[in-house]
Structure 1
Amino acid sequence: MNSQSVIQFFDKILNDLYQSVYLFLGGSLDDQTLNWAERGLSLAATMIKILILLSLIGFVYWLLVYCVKHTQRFLHVSHRGMRIVRAVLRYVWFVTSLIAVMMQIGFHADTVKATAKAAAWAGFYYVLWATSGRMLSGVLKHYELNASIEQLLKNMILVVVLVLVFASVLAQFGFDIVSLVAGLGIVGLAVGFAAQSTLANFIAGITILIEQSFQVGDWIRLGDKEGRVVKISLRATQILDRDNIIIIIPNSTVSSSEVVNLTSKKMIRFDVKARIALEADISQARSIIVKLLSKDEVVLKHPAPMATVSEVGEYGVYFIVRFWVAPVSVARIPIIKENITEKIKRALDEAGIKAPYPHMRLIMPDDGLQIIKPTPAVGTDDGIEENIELAERKN
């Protein structure tokens, strides 16, 4: 390829670009000569008309905003309502400006008309979404449903509104919405089969949020796991156990298992066990235990704690000590029960009431061992000990 051919090649490219710019500015292919002066004047006139139209539209928008702002007190419109009105006015201003520009730069009338209809549908769905959110908040507040359900329903409404907006806008430009929806349905069915476990957790999460068997902050027991609920999402529920470990449980597992809510009421009852000797005074021991619990800061005064005899055994009298605590103390229940058991032991020891342990005597005769039936005795309960006595019968 010689230099002449290269020059001709680039000349052709520049000429095509030259004509493309001319056509873009409103020129015609029928023109024998490119009249740039005429095109420049036409473009300048168009720009001036666009600026005038945008200025007029902007002035009307400013005037409407000014009127709405100064009539808010008289109309008793809330702050949220004012935000919606101003958002609608901004949207109308933008759409009107866009249509004005499209009309001046030569868009086809059908395209302008379709754009106006699509914008009207989009604005209608925005107002619908904004007002439905406010109505939804009022309904949920009336039925005392938590914020998680409100956010979930708002997200679902937003998705539905977006789908309707998408379909309405495409319909105005001649797209076949029925075929598109059918295709999306097939895709959704395929995705549903591929993500069955995820959908199961999603549906279970919605059920948990609607039923409100437990909420964030409740202390629950699920099988061998126990902890405070810190988050309920659409996929899983997170609980924080006593070891400060986050346990993430799929919602499908939660919904199909037995869940014990320990903090659903204002108080919860627990119990510990105590034991005294058979010959000890039951009334005195009960009085000591109840007095001790009534002074404990964690134990509620109403209902009052109680100590009842659950069993009179072979080696002592067994008490079951019941007391009530507030939900905030449930996380410390193991330590609370251990401290109460220790305090009961010390209080009974100070009162001279000992805990029994098995006592066995073994007598060694000349002709062999004779086992005597175990008898109750009083002593320390550091562990079950055996006192063995060896006696030798005299001849």
Structure 2
Amino acid sequence: MLEREIFGNSLQTWLVSILIVLAAVVVVKLLSLLGKKVVRPFIGRTKNRLDDVIYSALEAPLKFAVILLGIWIALHRLVYPDGVVRVVDNAYRILIVLDITWVFARLLSGLLQNYWGRSSGGGAYRMLPVIRRTILVVVWIIGIVTALSNVGVDINALLGTLGIGGIAFALAAQDTVKNVFGAFTIFTDKPFAIGDTINVNGLEGTVVDVGMRSTQILGYDRRITSYPNYKIMDSSIVNISSEPMRRASVKLGLTYDTGVDRMEQALEILRGLPAKVEGVSRNPSDITAYFSEYTDSALMLTFYYYIEKGGNVLQAMSDMNMAILASFREAGLAFAFPTRTLLMQQDGADGASGEKSGANAAPDSK
């Protein structure tokens, strides 16, 4: 019975080949048991993470290689047509190269995760999935091209086809690619970080997340705006959180009947107010007050001061404005507002009238 032929091979030959494949499966099971009971506990006690990375990279591809070897030996004991032999040999050439590529892919992925991923934080860690996928794609493309080259495939024609397809894909996904590179630029250049308050093209708010496609900004109206990454990198970014202090300015108009001494008094009042307002810098070099210009109905004063980092900007500005109002009222300094003086004159039967602008003069008629 064992000498009976099936597809050109005796039953005994078939049984031996099947036993060889089963033996390969048993070896794989033994390797798994050895790794679980001996190798893993041993490398777990070492402080170096490199042995963990190497073991993890080799474990699955090594088992696959044992199965391939068992099937290879079993198949080459059989007799079959030359065409089938060529197909099997080509398949094995491809599978061996892909198995080696698998080792490199797992090794690079493990090295990135254990060394760069754990040592970096923030934006660099968030970029790890994208960088890892990119490297794996490149490794697998090289492995596949090498495998096909080993079996006689025309690589130049294949690369030409892939080049045309890649151009079409790049044109279709150019916005996505620009957003990914924009995210990479944000994480590497670090113009801002999550939690910073920024201003991008007039949009001001707090950065709550930076993704692969867009950056989410929480505005002062408590609405989240998703801004494409490539547009952010093409824009002028003002990082408000990075400023040491926030400069604030106030323009005040006094009436034209204010004398020189009173103007000097107003400037001295302004220069002394930062010492009375919480959250405002008291450094004299951060305080500027000067008589800036003449306007149609007011003598203009310009006052610059700085709000300290971490202070409540809106509250400090409100407190400063209240202090200015109270101090000027107490000093009797009058704020100007637009007015118009009307003069009328009558001579006999003929009448003439004229008008002019003035500073806070009461209307007069005759």
Structure-1-length-normalised TM-score: 0.66
Alignment of structure 1 residues 117-128 onto 2, 5 Å: 117-128=97-108
Deviates more, 1:110-119 or 1:314-323: 110-119
User: What value does the CA root-mean-square deviation take over the aligned residues?
Assistant: 4.5
Alignment of structure 1 residues 183-332 onto 2, 5 Å: 183-204=161-182, 206-277=184-255, 278-279=258-259, 281-301=262-282, 305-313=286-294, 315-325=297-307
Aligned twin of 2:85: none
**8 Å CA contact retained: 2:21, 2:71:** no
Per-residue deviation, 1:371: 5.5
Q: For 2:134 and 2:363, locate their aligned partners in 1 and report how far apart those are by CA, in whole Å.
A: 77
**8 Å CA contact retained: 2:93, 2:147:** no
- The one-letter amino acid of 2:333's match is I
**8 Å CA contact retained: 1:307, 1:319:** no
Q: For 2:266 and 2:231, locate their aligned partners in 1 and report how far apart those are by CA, in whole Å.
A: 46
Per-residue deviation, 1:308: 1.0
Aligned twin of 1:57: 31
Alignment of structure 1 residues 1-395 onto 2, 5 Å: 28-29=6-7, 49-50=23-24, 52-61=26-35, 62-70=37-45, 72=46, 76-78=47-49, 81=50, 83-99=52-68, 101-102=70-71, 106=75, 110=89, 115-131=95-111, 146-147=124-125, 152-170=130-148, 176-204=154-182, 206-277=184-255, 278-279=258-259, 281-301=262-282, 305-313=286-294, 315-325=297-307, 337=317, 340-357=320-337, 362=342, 367=347, 368=351, 376=359, 387-391=362-366
SS of the aligned residue for 2:289 comes to strand
**8 Å CA contact retained: 2:43, 2:52:** no
Per-residue CA distance 1:357-383 (angstroms, 9 max, x = gap): 456655655535666866545xxxxxx
**8 Å CA contact retained: 1:286, 1:307:** no
Name the structure where strand makes up a greater proportion of residues: 2
Q: For 2:331 and 2:206, locate their aligned partners in 1 and report how far apart those are by CA, in whole Å.
A: 40
**8 Å CA contact retained: 1:222, 1:257:** yes
Per-residue deviation, 1:313: 2.7
Segments of 5+ residues of structure 1 without an aligned counterpart are 1-25, 378-385
**8 Å CA contact retained: 1:125, 1:165:** no
Per-residue CA distance 1:130-184 (angstroms, 9 max, x = gap): 335666569978xx98555555444432332232344345556665554433322
Per-residue deviation, 1:185: 1.4
Q: How many residues of Structure 1 are paired with residues of Structure 2 in the alignment?
A: 344
Change (3 A) 1:45 1:91: closer
Q: For 1:313 and 1:224, locate their aligned partners in 2 and report how far apart those are by CA, in whole Å.
A: 31
Structure-2-length-normalised TM-score: 0.70
Aligned twin of 1:17: none
SS of the aligned residue for 2:6 comes to coil
Q: For 1:214 and 1:59, locate their aligned partners in 2 and report how far apart those are by CA, in whole Å.
A: 50
Segments of 5+ residues of structure 2 without an aligned counterpart are 78-87
> Larger relative contact order (C-alpha < 8 A, sep ≥ 6)?
2
Aligned twin of 1:10: none
Q: For 1:159 and 1:51, locate their aligned partners in 2 and report how far apart those are by CA, in whole Å.
A: 30
Q: For 1:31 and 1:148, locate their aligned partners in 2 and report how far apart those are by CA, in whole Å.
A: 58
Per-residue deviation, 1:190: 2.0
Tell which structure's C-alpha radius of gyration is larger.
1
Change (3 A) 1:63 1:327: same
Q: For 1:197 and 1:230, locate their aligned partners in 2 and report how far apart those are by CA, in whole Å.
A: 22
